Amino acid sequence: MNLVEILKFTEEYLKKYSFSKPRLEAEKLVSYVLNLDRIALYIHYERELSEDEKTSIKQYLKKMVEENKTFDELKGEKKDFKEENLDIFNKSVEYLKKNGVLSPLLDTEYIFSDVLKVNKIL
């Protein structure tokens, strides 16, 4: 089983149990077990997983479902959007201020942060 397959399996499993962001949770779980950045999951998408890695992922999945917790909650690291994306958030505020926006609205900052994230991925 390669990275693409395990991500799809994990996402579908979490979707079946009504997790609100199954793809994000799958990426966090798999990247944690494999000690990779989330973006690296897509760079090395053909990488085959060892039996130990697959077992570890399945154990975390089982625990997430049994305890009805997100991966961050399971690890005790629940962060809000701003904390999780602080670097991109700060860059967006800096960019907006450089371009004449004296006091960017919070919604604008979140939208711009998402745009920067998408652009970074592409």
What is the per-residue pLDDT across 45-92, written as a single tens digit (0 to 9) for each?
A: 899 999 999 999 999 999 999 999 989 888 887 666 666 667 777 777
Q: Which residue has the tokens 């390669």?
A: 2
pLDDT of 93 reads: 72
pLDDT of 104 reads: 59
User: In angstroms, what CA-CA distances link 112 with 38, 54, 93, 102?
Assistant: 20, 36, 9, 15
CA distance 30 to 104: 35
CA distance 122 to 113: 14
Q: What's the farthest any 2 CA atoms get from each other in the chain?
A: 54
Could you count the other beta carbons within 10 Å of the beta carbon of residue 46?
9
What are the structure tokens assigned to 40, written together?
């690296």
CA distance 78 to 74: 8
Q: What percent of the chain has pLDDT over 70?
A: 82
Instruction: Give pTM, 2 decimals.
Output: 0.62
What are the structure tokens assigned to 87, written together?
């670097």
Q: For each of the domains in the chain, give its residue range(s) and CATH number, in order of start.
A: 3-75 (1.10.8), 81-116 (no CATH)
CA distance 18 to 24: 13
Mean pLDDT, residues 32-41: 92
pLDDT of 101 reads: 66
Beta-strand runs (E) in 5-93: none
Mean pLDDT, residues 22-48: 93
pLDDT of 25 reads: 94
